[in-house]
Amino acid sequence: MRPLVKAQQLLRDFNITTIPALSITQIFAHYSIIYDEMEYDDLNYMGSLIRAEDKVIILVNTDIKNAGRINFTKAHELGHFTLNHRGQKFECSRADLFDFARKPLEIEANQFAKEFLLPEQMVKPILMSAPFDFDTIQSIANGFMVSKIVAVFRMLEFHMGNYAVIASKNGVVTHLGMSKGLIGKVNLLKIGSSIDNKSFARECLISNFRMNGYSSIDVKAWITKNKLGSTIALKEYSRADKSSGSVLTLLKMDFL
């Protein structure tokens, strides 16, 4: 069964109409899934699904401190289980749990997790036209108990405007995505490349500069190719978490 249909079926079967993350424990109990947290030797691992004889075990790495990330990892492993992915053991890495996962079963588990935690039916009406800013991201993250990264990437899927998101750590791009309206029109900095020295993201990272809205920025700071050839007015809105070196950058584009 397709991941989205399966997630929707589970939401219906368990009569989940509010915060899906709060129902995970009940679902694990229903399927007699043993849940535990474990210290992994490898920091790269987020969680596992293990089928051992008559038991099913889901483990999450104790190093994950963020409640939203723990919920996403649990939902991802639940996805492997409910989608009947074959295999005795799934050990899922950080890369497997993001949108740039390449393995088909990991992509399916992520699609399931996103639809389960942030069901289209509940969030699309809000996200289609909500302000594309940090207040909306925070309210979705808090309201549905997901991480800000999961919230902002879900927002990109439904928003009607021309927006892109770039996450970076210590000045290097780690995630990126764009709203449907932008796909095919521009190329952004690639994952693994350094953020521009003149970007607001860089300034937020190295100083106490704090943004409270979008500001105009040179197109070259973030866009590597303009496929339409028309003039683009680019605006950036970045927020840094200096303790972790992470910066989340929102980009708004107007084609003139």
CB of 80 to Zn ion, least distance (A): 6
Cβ-count burial of 247 within 10 angstroms (0-12 exposed, 13-18 middle, 19+ buried)? buried
Closest CA to 3 of 101, 142, 132, 105: 105
DSSP, res 85: -
Closest CA to 216 of 246, 253, 190, 186: 253
CB of 96 to Zn ion, least distance (A): 5
Q: Which stretch binds Zn ion (CB under 5 A): 21-29, 31-39, 102-110, 207-215?
A: 102-110
Judged by CB under 5 A, the residue of 33, 92, 122, 250 near Zn ion is 92
Q: By C-beta, is 96 or 115 nearer to Zn ion?
A: 96
The single-letter code of the amino acid at 255 is: F
For residue 58, state whether it binds Zn ion (rule: CB under 5 A).
no
Q: By C-beta, is 106 or 115 nearer to Zn ion?
A: 106
Q: By C-beta, is 43 or 206 nearer to Zn ion?
A: 43
- Residues in 109-128 at the binding interface with Zn ion, rule: CB under 5 A: 109
Q: Which stretch binds Zn ion (CB under 5 A): 20-28, 34-42, 86-94, 153-161?
A: 86-94
Q: For residue 175, is it left (φ>0), alpha (ψ between -120 and 50) or beta?
A: beta
| Rg over CA atoms, the chain | 19
CB of 168 to Zn ion, least distance (A): 24
What is the distance between the alpha carbons of residues 73 and 76, in angstroms, rounded to a whole number?
5
Give me the residue label for tokens 């996450």: 167
Angle at Cα 89 formed by Cα 87 and Cα 90, nearest 5°? Answer: 95
Q: Which stretch binds Zn ion (CB under 5 A): 66-74, 99-107, 158-166, 193-201?
A: 99-107
CB of 62 to Zn ion, least distance (A): 18
Q: Which stretch binds Zn ion (CB under 5 A): 89-97, 162-170, 221-229, 240-248?
A: 89-97
Instruction: Please report, as ranges, the residues that interact with Zn ion according to CB under 5 A.
Output: 90, 92, 96, 106, 109
